[in-house]
Structure 1
Amino acid sequence: MDSFVNFFKKIPNKFASSAKELGKVQGIAIIAMLLALRVVLGMFANIGLAFNPYVKIGFTFLPMALVAYYFGPVCSMITACLGDVLSYVFAPAGASFTPGITAGYIIEACLLGIILYKEKISLPRTIICEVLVTLIGSLAINTYFIYMFYGLTYLQLLGLRAATLIPWAIIEGILVAVVVKALNRVPAISKNLPTT
């Protein structure tokens, strides 16, 4: 119980520390590269599923998780917002831009930053993080805004999306843990990233 309380006590410090990351030129450069990767992945690495047309599987979670882990919630929220807007500007998908879906991505990025920033990476942590982010962002929030475009009820759409997104969230958690641990082992990379 104490560790749970301590986790919540650290949240304001995570936001303050993350905001300070925006004052470092090297950090901004790395965040910009991860933002560019997020935009490219958002444009070219989304896979529509034949068996579930209400879900696209993509890899934008990876640069977002890296920004959240290394630079915190403030930086990851800015990156999520810019990434979604830029992806739409360069490769519009759908009839119109939906700010509600962007808000969902910002909330997902905030959760990623709160859970991962300045914490030891472990497989259980990244899996729980990605599942929680999926439940709150992709399922609860984004499903609501997607529901406005389809003739299904919210609960029908929620069920269809959950059947695909929850297992995918587990895979995302595994990939995040593997990539972060691999990056932390490469001296040329890890020496240029903030210490956690």
Structure 2
Amino acid sequence: MNFAHECLSVPSLIKESMKENKKVKSICGCAMLTALNVSVGALYIPISPTLRIGFSSVFAGVSGMVYGPMLTGFAGVIADTLKYMIRPDGPYFPGFAINEFLTGFIYGCFFYKKKITLPRVIIARAVITIFINLILTSLWLNILYQSPLFTMIRLIKNIVMFPVDVAILYFALKGAQRVNLK
């Protein structure tokens, strides 16, 4: 994986993935994966009021692989809103919708029309873990609750869950490739 080439290809990847937004088949398939994301997102293991373990981002990864960064990013915003409507816990905060958009967008950039390899999955998951889970989510929680105490707990949880998340995502993407969702 040539990092410079990957970064330079992102604008053309985004442009190409925008074509998916006009295909009924893509919108329906993405909607089904979003429904799975919402369903699984409602089922999580609560650790504390602000810390939970869930696996709904796997469906964002599969959607990103099949439908690209833009459609998956927009679907993430819809998924976040629906998850909140189904199971509201705390005030609605749009920062978490931004997180969901970025998660889908990042997965799309890493997986759309690319060969799924373990190093690619590890790097994609690391970017999401560091940038979204540790930095942005901690920032949003600090804005909401005015307490920086969440960061250490989130760090431990993300370190423990990283190999589990990578393994589940890798096998889900490989399985989706075999099924050929398109």
Letter of the 2:17 counterpart? S
Distance in 2, matches of 1:97 and 1:110, equals 22
Letter of the 1:66 counterpart? V
Aligned to 1:170: 163
CA shift, 1:184, in A, is 2.2
CA shift, 1:71, in A, is 0.9
Aligned to 2:107: 112
Question: Aligned pair 1:127/2:122, yes or no?
Answer: yes
Distance in 2, matches of 1:16 and 1:92, equals 35
Distance in 1, matches of 2:11 and 2:153, equals 36
Q: Would you say the 8 A contact 1:61–1:172 is kept in 2?
A: no
Q: Would you say the 8 A contact 1:38–1:64 is kept in 2?
A: yes
Aligned to 1:80: 76
Superposition map of 1:1-196 within 5 A: 3-43=2-42, 45-49=43-47, 54-94=50-90, 96-150=91-145, 152-153=147-148, 156-185=149-178, 189-190=179-180, 192-193=181-182
Where has structure 1 moved over 3 Å in runs of 4 or more? 148-152
Deviates more, 1:160-169 or 1:65-74: 160-169
Distance in 1, matches of 2:64 and 2:14, equals 11
Q: How many residues align?
A: 182
CA shift, 1:66, in A, is 0.7
SS of the equivalent of 1:48 reads strand
SS of the equivalent of 1:56 reads strand
SS of the equivalent of 2:2 reads helix
TM-score normalised by L of structure 2: 0.92
Q: Would you say the 8 A contact 1:42–1:87 is kept in 2?
A: yes
Letter of the 2:61 counterpart? A
Letter of the 1:91 counterpart? R
Identity %: 25
Q: Would you say the 8 A contact 2:141–2:147 is kept in 1?
A: no
Distance in 2, matches of 1:18 and 1:85, equals 23
Bigger radius of gyration among the two: 1
Query: Unaligned stretches of 5+ in structure 2?
Result: none
SS of the equivalent of 2:119 reads helix
Distance in 2, matches of 1:27 and 1:33, equals 10
Letter of the 2:131 counterpart? I
Encode CA deviations 1:100-145: one digit per residue, 9 max, x unaligned: 1211221222211111212111112112211210111111111111
Q: Would you say the 8 A contact 1:21–1:75 is kept in 2?
A: yes
CA shift, 1:76, in A, is 1.2
